[in-house]
Structure 1
Amino acid sequence: MLKIPSIDLSSNIHLTKFDCAISSLMSLNVSRNIHLKYLDCEMTKLTGLDLRNNRELEVLSIGYTSIDNINLSNNGNLVELYCNEAPIYKLNVSANHKLSKLSCYGTKIYALDLSNNPELTTLDCSDLDLSYLDLSKNPRLQWLNCCYNQLRVLDLSKNPNLEWLECTHNKLSDLNVSNTPKLELLDCTFNELKTLDVTKNPKLVKLVCPGTMLKALELSKNKELQVLICSHNELMSLDLSKNTNLRQVDCSMNALKDLNLKNGNNKIIEEVYNIGNVNLKCIRVDDVTWASAQGSWKKDAPTEYSTDCK
């Protein structure tokens, strides 16, 4: 950590970029730096920051500081804002119409209004205490992490460009991803879904859904799927015969009676974890000898491999 408790920038009126991250800086005056576009104060000892004169500012990082309030009403050109783990309790970005990336995880924010941020593509609002999140005015959103909140509803009907969704550890009882055809990653771990329809997500590469009370999972339309983690559910049957790109499968701790891994391309599956399915007598595979020789394929001892499981 750089030991610079203070710095005088008053003579640097043409300054466009300033990085003081990971330092002992306690105060910073940028009122005369009217052309400043990039400011990184992350992991400093700052308790406040006046940006009223910095109308050209595009990127701001104040994460891991002691700043508990920030006024961005004059920063209409702001494109990226990072304030992670700062004690900010209220964040007003209504004047920041160009905002594309917002990361505010681990702050004290309990409500987030994004209705004036139509350019938003990336949002990390995880580990807050949000009970409501309105994304209806953010049609360009591609990446969303809203894990560890209190969300009961997550409406994605206006987010057709979404590619990455992490919404773990919420209180969701329903998750409709039918209007997100570009979705490549979905992690909805530890919610109360009971059902999950991913038949309209043909580009899905990774699906993580343990602890969601699922009783069924239809994956025949997900031909690009490489990673499936669906452990600790109530699945009785799992057919992966159409998923020829699979690399990793974890379906442990379910109620499986039928598991079909016979997809014609078993040799690219690097790991199968299938423990705790006491009623599963047989697993369909491409080649019994080959499957039995794989040390990274785990199953209960009584369960057998077969090509037909008659």
Structure 2
Amino acid sequence: MSSPSAGPRLLGPAEVRRLAAELDLRPTKQRGQNFVIDPNTVRRIVRESGVGPDDVVVEVGPGLGSLTLALLDDVRRVVAVEVDPLLAGRLPATVAELAPDLPADAFEVVLADALRVTDLPGPAPTALVANLPYNVSVPVLLHLLALLPSLERGLVMVQSEVADRLAAGPGSRTYGVPSVKAAWHADVRRAGAVGRNVFWPAPNVDSGLVAWTRREPPTTAVSREAVFAVVDAAFAQRRKALRGALRGLAGSGEAATAALEAAGIEPMARGEQLDVDDFVRVAEALAAVRGEAA
């Protein structure tokens, strides 16, 4: 890690626009490209993430490098996953220019779609810190949590409503599929809000920070996929009681009722009343009702 006096220079509004003009870059909504232009915001993200000099950090959607540079001042290594060839091609030169004292292995960019990544180069990553593309933020987060069990903690910036859903608990109006699936992997909490004026171009939605700490997944005799299938079915029609919502998985309403009662769940309850461990018990009971090997 560089000493504070020799740390990377961070990108401000003028530098971001200069890089964009050099690349003839037109940010696209399709790829969720909104670049942070405020150094204080990226410093705050790094601080709130809790990463330190021993961490190997995965960053998704590094863009022009605003957050990347702030991370490189505090951590051992950053692996940046970028889907846009134009941005991925320019990023190493930006890092070399603004953080010239870094060790050679401190930074690597991977040109790939984070949703389709199956492996990352170098030492096992310990943290995920990213300004996630808002249109794919939840699938990317869940994919990387499942793919990389070495991840111990992280902090991501997402659309404010998505942040609410990821951090919501049972009974909350915003509790749903992302809440339960994230809870399978980690303890999740809201870590603050971010204003629109720190981005270029400014998004038409507010942003929120979500922090998480890895926890052991629930112990279960069925697969994660089987549990998540129950979660998906339970929230497919939020107003429907579980007895009806799970009929398709169980084969009939009677079988769904039997499974729910075996799991200790009221058949007329709704999905938003169940926590992740409840869903595990329901998935196991459904497997038993269907006669599947546990």
Relative to the length of structure 2, the TM-score reads 0.28
Higher normalized contact order (CA 8 Å, seq sep 6+, divided by chain length)? 2
User: Quick check: which has more Rg, 1 or 2?
Assistant: 1
Structure having the larger proportion of residues in helix: 2
